[in-house]
A and B are shown apart, each in its own frame.
Chain A
Amino acid sequence: MTDILSALASGFAGALTLSNLGWAFLGVTLGTAVGVLPGIGPALTVAVLLPVTFTLDPTSAFIMFGGIYYGAMYGGSTTSILLNTPGETGSIATAIDGYMMARQGRGAAALTTAAVGSFVAGTLATIALTFFAPLLASVALRFGPAEYFALTILAFTTVSALLGTSLVRGLLSLFLGLALGLVGIDPLTGDARFAFGIPQLLDGIDVVILVIGLFAVGETIYQAWHYGREPLEMVELHDFTGMSREEWRRSWKPWLRGTAIGFPLGVLPCGGTVIPTFLSYLTEKRLSDTPERFGQGAIEGVAGPEAANNAAAAGVLVPLLTLGLPSSATAAIMLAAFQQYGLQPGPLLFSSRPDLVWTLIASLYVGNLMLLVLNLPLAGVWARVMLVPRPLLFGGILVLASLGAYTLNRSMLDLALLYVVGAVGCAMRVYDFPLVPAVLGLVLGPLTEQHFRRAVAISEGDLSIFLTRPISAVLLVAAVLVLTGPRFLRRYERL
């Protein structure tokens, strides 16, 4: 323990130089700006900035990358809350209640709980990274395909919290997502499925296209449809000051629970930040005394997922730094960046280049604090985006959405797909279908299928593997409890 503290102290000594603070600041600002733009995530940003850093020494470069990484996680929440346009999959859960809050004029409160929650989660998760990284990494290795399958099944139960008014409509939305997930090369055999001979479909339908299409484009088309029938609603801002005392009281527990859910799931390489954010959303709704407020602007529904999102981002660094395992696209690029400098992240990195690792970890603390300082005052400013005249706002949203979708693969097909999905999203709004189950279906469906088939192939077709492996069995039982528990409890209360 004292070893770690003294190493961390020397790390801070390295990170707190004026130039390194400057790089951290540049990183978090750039990351926030890029996270705001739908479709352009931290992975692409780090890749674009790699050549710039050839001239920097590795420590400064990684401080900047750490800043970009954390900053992008912050930036994603802003567009989700204000414009119902999640920039990446990790902030979809935030959009559900965050956007409702913004429409009720409570955008500043939603942004504040997101910013403080991200800070709390980021800091706690970085502390956990500092002290328990090797231990956590060895636990993560015990997860095999069977465990990941059970985890995705648990994640599927979150759909139950997002079904909306009708079970059948929710399920149709879910199956739509699952069906879209079938498109593309079957990763286990390499055979193309449902690609209809179109090469651009071989890699499947990008989740980002579905998210931007359903949310940003769909919302704009829907507003146009609606505007033809009724006048536009105006938003009146309630406050610029951030959160009320009541909102603080309701937020702090979701922050902590979100961290507890997000960090361990971030350590596991499993589908990025989607699973932790939705599990956090489900947890908050299940624990709430007033679950009916969820979907109508419940601050807990913003606080929990945002904390989970940032905690998971810190969790991803655990396998990267301790084992050299990249478990997300950004981590893969960070790994490539390490190699640019002739460094090999792995079991020996902590002993071979302690100076670099500890300065990086120290700068994560610094970057987190910087993001809070940067974002808290801006919450009120950003919230005024809701006052921009709607014609200009919707025009701007569509331009950014098309930019994000096109740059993803430089493909006109993606752009066309974006607009088709947008039209579908409008129709789903008109006929009252929930949107989020479709996104969950597209993200979780392929993961579930792959892990199931991998597990069964390893066990040579023996299905009992899911119940004989303890972690997998526990996760599956938890999934059953989440689905049947509330009904069971209600019956018990009635007796």
Chain B
Amino acid sequence: MSSRLIVPSVIAVVLIAGVGRASAQPAFEHLRLVAPAAPGGGWDQTARAMQQVLQRAGIARTVSVENIPGAAGLIGLARFIGAEQGNGDTLMASGLIMLGAIVTQRSAVTLRDVTPIARLTGEYEILAVPISSPFKTLEDFIGAFKARPESISWGGGSAGGSDQILAGLIADKVGVDPRRVNYIAFSGGGEALSAILGGQVSVGINGLAEFAAQIEAGSVRVLGISSAERLPGLNVPTLREQGIDIEFENWRAVVAPPGLTAGDRQRLEAAVDAMVRSEAWRETLTRFRWIDRYLAGDAFVRFVDAEEARVRDILTRLGTGGEDAPTVSAAGPYPIIVLAGLSLCALAVVVRRDKSQNPHPKSHALGLGHWDLGCDRSRPIALVAAGLVLDLVLAERAGFVIASAVLFWFVARAFDPRHPLRDAAFAVTVSIGAYVLFGRVLDLPLPAGVLTGWL
């Protein structure tokens, strides 16, 4: 047991040592960053890069990152608006993909509900084919696409995301109905990239960063990049210079909660401004191949409005988020088959009751010893149920420690009518131990509740 406790405490020491290096007089004692995505994605990387730079440049003494994944950022957005109202020391990563999700899911919360701070970075998109592809140039490709749009499969990231938006914009520009784009959405960058490299799709559309290693190695042929000008150090023609007048980037930004005072807003804007101007931020941009697209204040607000209009227009015409399902990859009969199978099996089980006479064979088959205490039949299960309900009621109100101790105690009582005090002692010890180990040492988000000041 002890080895499992020692190791995390070593980590804790390392953590504390790392934090202690921040320089004097930071603008923020503590700053919280919300990444509305699972670890590993673009918003998570943005938040973690900011964390590193803000601490290293001494703008904030400590910075924490919280991941609230779900629904392309919509869960994080809704939680941010609901729970952080007026908090002047919190920022959330956001960007184009969140706009896309707001449109496709007809979200009740939008980017108009938060306080805009600044656009930070942009990533250009690349249109690429494997080396073995028959398409040598963008012209070849567009020719084939115009001749028979559905025969061209476009592989890229999630539906309604930046990749699909660009595919729709290109179709629109070359005079093909965006609804006829045969877009194949893959669930992760890796999946899309392997389909592109393996020639499973006609063309791949993805962020420059995802493609960078393949371009360097010469395993893909780039047909075009969505930047306005050619990028230095990258010998790749733009879409615009090849007659498709599109400038497009997957931009990422930071926003603050609604209801801030003017002072709080200025403090956050100043902190972000100082971060963007720091040497450490320059290094970070190069490291991640992000393009500096810092834009703050009213100009940023106008930019978001324009982007929202553009995204809404193209996604509606692509058929996502509109009233009709798109033509090529419609859901089809699968859900109906599943639900019909479920109903049929349920019916069959109800009709053929005969085989249900074998409910708990295991306890007898093993021939093991018994604890015989003889008690009321429903008492144990009622106690467990009570424990579960109380846990649900208490978890966020009273905090993890209290809720867990109550849950533990009720469950233990269910199996043990004799030692209420011993069970209570264990309940408190286990709950506090779990909270300290996972909530404090491993920094997982557990609600502290009423004991906030104590633990």
> Which A residues contact B (CB, under 8 angstroms)?
26, 29-30, 33-34, 37, 40, 43-52, 54-55, 103-104, 140-145, 165-166, 168-169, 171-172, 175-176, 178-179, 181-182, 185-194, 199-200, 202-203, 220-221, 223-236, 269, 319, 323-327, 329, 331-333, 335-336, 339-342, 344-349, 389-392, 394-396, 398-400, 402-403, 406-407, 409-412, 415-416, 419, 422, 429-432, 445, 449-450, 452-454, 457-458, 460
Contact = CB atoms under 8 A, between A and B. Distances in A.
B38 interface: yes
A394 B201 CA distance: 51
Contacts of A169: 349, 355
Nearest to B184: A454
A182 B371 contact: no
Contacts of A232: 370-371, 415
A227 B411 CA distance: 12
Interface string B376-404: 11111101110110011001100010011
A403 B8 contact: no
Contact of B75 (A140, A165, A202, A403): A202
Contacts of A186: 159, 331
Contacts of B244: none
Contacts of B263: none
* CB-based closest 9 A-B pairs: A346-B213, A47-B39, A190-B159, A144-B200, A141-B198, A347-B217, A391-B416, A395-B408, A172-B345
A190 B400 contact: no
B101 to A, nearest CB: 8
28 contacts: A45-B442, A47-B67, A143-B194, A187-B187, A189-B330, A190-B158, A190-B159, A192-B105, A199-B107, A224-B414, A226-B363, A228-B379, A230-B363, A233-B370, A324-B193, A324-B214, A325-B197, A332-B188, A347-B216, A390-B415, A391-B416, A394-B415, A395-B427, A398-B411, A400-B434, A410-B66, A410-B79, A457-B184
B332 A453 contact: yes
A194 to B, nearest CB: 8
Given A228-B381, A233-B363, A398-B407, A269 B416 contact: no
B200 A458 contact: yes
Interface string B132-170: 000000000000000000110100001110000000000
A145 B45 contact: no
A396 B408 contact: yes
Nearest to B185: A188
A30 B213 contact: no
B45 A336 contact: yes
Given A33-B4, A189-B326, A409-B69, A223 B415 contact: yes
A399 B329 contact: no
B320 interface: yes
A458 B150 CA distance: 9
A187 B392 CA distance: 31
B452 interface: no
B274 interface: no
B18 interface: yes
A431 B356 contact: yes
A489 B194 CA distance: 39
A interface SS class? helix
Interface of B: 3-4, 7-8, 10-11, 14-15, 18, 38-41, 44-45, 48, 51-52, 65-71, 74-75, 78-79, 104-105, 107, 150-151, 153, 158-160, 182, 184-191, 193-195, 197-201, 209, 212-214, 216-217, 219, 286-288, 319-321, 325-326, 328-332, 334-335, 338-339, 341-342, 345-346, 348-349, 352, 355-356, 358-360, 362-363, 366, 368-373, 375-381, 383-385, 387-388, 391-392, 395-396, 400, 403-404, 407-409, 411-416, 419, 423, 426-427, 430-431, 434, 438, 442-446
B409 A395 contact: yes
Contact of A269 (B48, B65, B190, B446): B190
A410 B212 CA distance: 34
Contacts of B193: 323-325
Contact of B191 (A203, A269, A336, A430): A269
Contacts of B356: 431-432
